[in-house]
Amino acid sequence: MEDSDTSAILPEDPESSDQQFGSKNNCCLPNGSTCSKTPPYSCPFSISVEPVLFLNMFSLALQMPLYTQYLWDRFSEHVGYNGTKSGGCGNSSEPHDPLQKEVETLTAHWNLYISLGGFCVGLITVTLLGSWSDRAGRRVVLIVPSLGLAIQATVYLIVMYMKLPVGWFLFGRLCSGLSGDFNAILAACFAYVSDRSDRVSRTFRVAILEACLGLAGMFASIIGGKWRHAQGYINPFWLVLATNLAAALYAYLFVPESLTPDPESKLFSTQHHRAVIRLYATDREGGRRLKLWLYTLCFFVVVSVHFGSRDLYVLYELSSPLCWGSELIGYGSAAQHLTYLTSLVGLRTMQRCLEDSWVAIIGLVSNISSLVVISIANTTALMFTGYGLCFLFMASTAVLRSKLSKLVDPSELGALFASVACVEGLCSLVSSGVFNSLYPATLHFMKGFPFLFGAILLLIPAVIIATLGCQERGMNSRETTEENCVES
């Protein structure tokens, strides 16, 4: 109901949309349409891009902590730091080891170099591939970045086998960035489900993809630490390489095209980047440009708070007064990722009686209450209570992605989700800098202040979504009244 004002752009009937904007042809659609790029095999189940996203997210979540620990070990070996610690949890009386500080600094700096290198290259490539997929099709943008991530894993393995300088990690990251990186896969997957879904079911389909991200992260966090402790770094990275190749193979063999590709579409053209700029620069009927900017702002704030608080959880749990060990930290990580599933179930339930705007607000309330409790948590029970209160946090991001997709033409979905993926990458960089700087600066008066700060920030998207939701409801009421008057 709340999005009926976009009906001038997006037709309500999926079949009419197919005829106007290109056939949504795949082996699983009930209309039986065919595609000019049919995969070699039909869909084995009623799923499409979910396995591609799951496998690539699993590989990403598995390798990120591993290469950070590998950098730590390499720099420790380089400076002669043996890694022993004389103090226990919360023991601040021991002098800080200058070698440990040097290792921490080198590891943090190289993590920053690698992240920035991938983001800067990917910013150009993702927008290019995302907009190009609106004409060339989604499958190629699922396959090529998966192969790019496989090349990155191969470079990392070579570095580990041959003990090459750690600067080669940056080279591997740049190779992945040139192919679109994980952000291109995100953009293609969300654009794909938007192609295949109608306006009613889109929010839930988007939420399923978000749940895939959480489940993949949960399995990777459980497997990665234990495997690295048992067998070192190299064997887990072989699994990273295998999952990236499996994702590319699955996309090639089983994922049907969601739109009709244009054989004359050119990849290297400035029109693709111009299409992304036009999304936010062109005025649209019914104030859609302003809504696009406001919902993007909401998405930026919500994801930044999520990334920033996630970066601090382990540090917060390791130190006094919680003093968690590796086992409790593992349980805490599993509890965080379990909220992706509870959010999916909660979203599906709430959609039966509430509009999407209010579902998003409830999700934000869940996130705010969780962060407030965690900010004052001084016991294990209170910390897990905070995790429990976050059981609906994902509902807000799923609704925001869905609302953004309904504000643009179907032929612009690739460009839209490419820009959203870039915003998500920017969120990771900004939140890491802000929250990691805020944490040590506020330890002297409130250890959990960064979490409280995140809760306050979430009030901004809550107010914006509530305001836009009320406006949309008012517009729907006026349209209904006018229709009744005409009929009478």
pLDDT in tens, 437-484: 888 888 888 988 999 999 999 999 999 999 998 887 766 655 555 555
Phi/psi at 238 (nearest 5 deg)?
Answer: -65, -35
Domain co-membership, 243 together with 343: no
pLDDT on residue 200? 82
Residue 413 CA to residue 417 CA, distance in Å, equals 6
In a domain, 7, yes or no: no
- Percent of the chain at pLDDT > 70 equals 82
Same domain, 178 and 229: yes
Torsion of CA 209, 426, 187, 131, to 10 degrees: 160
Q: State yes or no: pLDDT of 89 exceeds 60.
A: no
Question: Residue 32 above 60 pLDDT?
Answer: no
Q: How many domains does the chain have?
A: 2
- pLDDT over 80 (residue 343): yes
The answer to whether position 304 is within a domain reads yes
Across 13-22, 102-111, 121-130, 317-326, least confident range: 13-22
- Write down the pLDDT at residue 387: 93
Q: Is residue 198 part of a domain?
A: yes
| Residue 244, in any domain of the structure | yes
Q: Does 376 lie in the same domain as 480?
A: yes
- DSSP collapsed to 3 states, the chain: CCCHHHCCCCCCCHHHHHHHHCCCCCCCCCCCCCCCCCCCCCCCCCCCCHHHHHHHHHHHHHHHHHHHHHHHHHHHHHHCCCCCCCCCCCCCCCCCCHHHHHHHHHHHHHHHHHHHHHHHHHHHHHHHHHHHHHHHCCHHHHHHHHHHHHHHHHHHHHHHHHCCCCHHHHHHHHHHHHCCHHHHHHHHHHHHHHHHCCCCCHHHHHHHHHHHHHHHHHHHHHHHHHHHHHHCCHHHHHHHHHHHHHHHHHHHHHCCCCCCCCCCCCCCCHHHHHHHHHHHHCCCHHHHHHHHHHHHHHHHHHHHHHHHHHHHHHHHHHCCCCCCCHHHHHHHHHHHHHHHHHHHHHHHHHCCCCCHHHHHHHHHHHHHHHHHHHHCCCCHHHHHHHHHHCCCCHHHHHHHHHHHHCCCCHHHHHHHHHHHHHHHHHHHHHHHHHHHHHHHHCCCCCCCHHHHHHHHHCHHHHHHHHHHHHHHHHHHHHHHHHHHHHHC
**Confidence check: pLDDT of 336 > 90:** no
Whether residues 225 and 160 fall in one domain: yes
Amino acid at 290: L
Whether the predicted pLDDT of 93 surpasses 60: no
Domain match, 236 and 113 both = yes
For residue 31, pLDDT over 60 is answered with no
pLDDT surpassing 70 at residue 203? yes
Mean pLDDT confidence for 88-106: 62
HSE of 86, CA atoms in CB hemisphere, 13 A: 6
| Residue 360: predicted pLDDT | 95
Q: Among the three residues 227, 262, 297, which one is the final residue of a domain in this structure? A: 262
Decide if 297 contacts 420 (C-beta within 8 A).
Answer: no
Here the contacts of 471-479 (C-beta below 8 Å, separation 24 or greater) are 472/1, 472/2, 472/3, 472/4, 472/5, 472/357, 473/1, 473/2, 473/355, 475/4, 475/5, 476/1, 476/2, 476/4, 476/5, 479/4
CA distance to 41, 142, 335, 437, per residue, from 249 (Å): 11, 10, 32, 42
Q: Is residue 37 part of a domain?
A: no
More confident: 400 or 12 = 400
Instruction: Kindly state whether residues 224 and 345 are assigned to the same domain.
Output: no
Q: Is residue 4 part of a domain?
A: no
306 & 376 share domain: yes
Evaluate if residue 58 carries a pLDDT over 70: yes
Domain that includes residue 393, residue range: 284-488
Which residues have CB under 8 Å from 89's CB, separation 6+?
Answer: 318, 319, 320, 323
Residue type, 250: Y
Question: Are 258 and 298 contained in the same domain?
Answer: no
Arithmetic mean of pLDDT, 377-402: 93
On the 0-12 / 13-18 / 19+ scale of CB atoms within 10 A, 48 is buried
Comparing 309 with 108, the larger pLDDT belongs to 309
| Choice among 41-45, 223-227, 346-350, 388-392 with the minimum mean pLDDT | 41-45
Q: What is the mean pLDDT of residues 409-414?
A: 86
Most distant pair of Cα atoms in the chain: their distance = 86
Domain match, 131 and 180 both: yes
The reply to whether 89 falls in a domain is no
Same-domain status, 255 and 369: no
Q: What is the CATH number of the domain that holds 440?
A: 1.20.1250.20
Q: Which two tokens stand for residue 211?
A: 């749940």
- Domain boundary residue among 262, 293, 322? 262
* Same domain (yes/no): 349, 477: yes
State residue 55's pLDDT score: 94
List the single range of 79-93, 264-278, 379-393, 413-427 with lowest mean pLDDT. Answer: 79-93
What is the average per-residue pLDDT within 260-289? 75
Residues near 226 by beta carbon (within 8 Å), at least 6 away in sequence:
none
Q: What is the distance between the alpha carbons of residues 473 and 245, in angstroms, rounded to a whole number?
A: 47
Mean pLDDT for 31-35 is 40
- 93-100 long-range contacts (CB < 8 A, ≥24 apart) are none
Predicted confidence band of residue 85 (pLDDT cuts 50, 70, 90): very low
Q: Are residues 288 and 250 in the same domain?
A: no
Residues 6+ apart with CB under 8 A from 28: 43, 46, 48, 256
- Number of residues that this document lists for the chain: 488
Least confident segment among 18-32, 34-48, 71-85, 197-211 = 18-32
In a domain, 270, yes or no: no
Query: Does the predicted model carry a pTM greater than 0.85?
Result: no
Decide which of 312 and 383 is more confident.
383
- Residue 91, pLDDT > 70, answer no
Position 43 scores a pLDDT of 58
Check pLDDT > 60 for residue 21.
Answer: no
Residue 323 burial (CB count, 10 A): 13
For the stretch 240-265, pLDDT in tens is 999 999 999 999 988 888 787 777 77
Place of tokens 């730091």: 81
The whole-number pLDDT of residue 153 equals 93
- pLDDT-derived band at 396 (thresholds 50, 70, 90) equals very high
What per-residue confidence (pLDDT) applies to 42?
Answer: 64
> What per-residue confidence (pLDDT) applies to 86?
42
pLDDT of 19: 35
pLDDT in tens, 153-197: 999 999 988 888 888 989 999 999 899 889 899 999 999 998 888
150, 244 contact by CB (below 8 A):
yes
Candidate ranges 154-163, 195-204, 281-290, 293-302; pick with highest mean pLDDT: 293-302
